[in-house]
Amino acid sequence: MQMKRIFVAALAACALFVLPRIAFAHAHLLSSTPAANATVHGPDVAFELRFNSRVDGRHSVLTLVTADGRTEPLAVGNQSAESNLNAHATLKPGSYTLRWQALATDGHITRGEIPFTVR
């Protein structure tokens, strides 16, 4: 009887721990501006990354990688929606990669890269 009670308690604790993680999936990138491999007009480039779940703009990271491998942090601006990350940059013509790291509300971090060209 005692063992069964412990087992039920352990199961309940496990469900409490696991369920929120299922309910709030981590952030998958749905689409972006610029889109991957797109060519955009400079010098003003607006970035918008759209995710399938809420993301924490203050703890997400956007980094621009230039063709010669230099990295520049981008300030995450006001989010156009709770599931979006937004930023701006003034860019010369060339190839770039936007490296993103998104913190979802479930505490999970996802990462990805969006290569694009400015002309």
- Should residue 54 be labelled a site residue for Cu ion when binding is judged by CB under 5 A? no
Measured from the CB atom, is 56 or 106 closer to Cu ion? 106
Asked if 63 contacts 92 with a C-beta cutoff of 8 angstroms, the reply is no
As measured in angstroms, the least distance from the Cβ of 43 to Cu ion is: 36
HSE (CB half, 13 Å, CA atoms) of 55?
32
- Should residue 56 be labelled a site residue for Cu ion when binding is judged by CB under 5 A? no
Alpha carbon distance 118, 47 (integer Å): 13
> Binding-site residue total for Cu ion (CB under 5 A)?
3
Stretch that binds Cu ion, among 31-39, 45-53, 58-66, 106-114 (CB under 5 A): 106-114
Measured from the CB atom, is 50 or 108 closer to Cu ion? 108
Helix (H) or strand (E) holding 12: helix 2-23
Alpha carbon distance 36, 20 (integer Å): 31
Can you tell me which of 26, 32, 64, 91 binds Cu ion, judged by CB under 5 A?
Answer: 26
Measured from the CB atom, is 21 or 88 closer to Cu ion? 21
Task: Give the rounded distance of the alpha carbon of 99 from its chain centre.
Answer: 9
Can you tell me which of 33, 101, 106, 117 binds Cu ion, judged by CB under 5 A?
Answer: 106
What are the residues facing 96 on neighbouring strands?
66, 116
Binding site for Cu ion (CB under 5 A): 26, 106, 108
